[in-house]
Structure 1
């Protein structure tokens, strides 16, 4: 797996199996760090041109209200328009509040024709993602 970008918010990898991978880090992050991380996700999605992203939120802290607004109003529309983002396989956070914050964000994705599916098991998430059309 090739590391594409990393900061305190998380890391992005180009998975040789055939998708981009976003892994959120445990612990605190600044909103600027999250914005930088997401910007690099968009760039990797555009480079890959398959629209598939595995999102590992297992250790993630909940999104703040401001982070949720950024994701739904800025990042997700840009990731779709500029990165070709279409499919997200989400490994669910252990933290229940992080799960709730994610549900708020992904509900907005329906308006953008994004398809999300939630998993507790990584092999199942990868298998589902690889069956999505490119």
Structure 2
């Protein structure tokens, strides 16, 4: 059976935000350094897609993610992942683990900081397992 079609919602140097037909945002990060304003636009559009569709789930492909800078981590925690900015009480996030060890450590640190920000997440090394976990969420 063919894979369901993904629709591009937003694209910039940070990566692509796709609409998955199963009802979640699929965000794919590009490798390499980022500019903060590009990351802010990328995550803001991700939040807007979730709000527009009434979705509460996302699959983050961070396998090629370069480590977040301290400034990026702070912005993520302070702005994008707060319930007030997202307009949603809970987001379920399935995160594909980055290949680069330092990026994985950076991501783990950032995720540890946002537990109180109403994000329920789980790390995966398999896209199929991540998708299965999301299918089980409301």
Establish whether TM, by shorter chain, passes 0.5: yes
Distance in 1 of aligned mates of 2:85 and 2:131? 20
Query: Once the 2 structures are TM-superposed, how far is the Cα of residue 20 of structure 1 from its aligned partner?
Result: 0.7
Cα 1:16–1:84 change in 2 (3 A) is farther
CA RMSD of aligned residues (A): 1.5
Q: TM-score, normalised by structure 2?
A: 0.90
Query: Once the 2 structures are TM-superposed, how far is the Cα of residue 78 of structure 1 from its aligned partner?
Result: 5.1
Query: Once the 2 structures are TM-superposed, how far is the Cα of residue 16 of structure 1 from its aligned partner?
Result: 0.6
| Structure-2 residue corresponding to 1:31 | 36
**Structure 1 residue runs of 4+, over 4 Å off?**
none
- Find the structure with the greater CA-based Rg: 2
| Count of aligned positions | 133
In structure 1, list runs of 5 or more residues that go unmatched. Answer: none
Deviations 1:62-101 (A, max 9, x none): 0000000000111111576425551000000001111111
In structure 2, list runs of 5 or more residues that go unmatched. Answer: 1-5
Distance in 1 of aligned mates of 2:90 and 2:48? 10
Deviations 1:41-74 (A, max 9, x none): 1100101212100000001100000000000111
- Matching residue within 22, 26, 30 for 1:21: 26
- Matching residue within 36, 51, 58 for 1:53: 58
Distance in 1 of aligned mates of 2:103 and 2:109? 10
Q: TM-score, normalised by structure 1?
A: 0.93
- 8 Å CA contact 1:80, 1:112 repeated in 2: no
Could you say which structure has the higher helix fraction? 1
Distance in 2 of aligned mates of 1:33 and 1:26? 13
Deviations 1:91-134 (A, max 9, x none): 0000111111111111122212321100000011001011101x
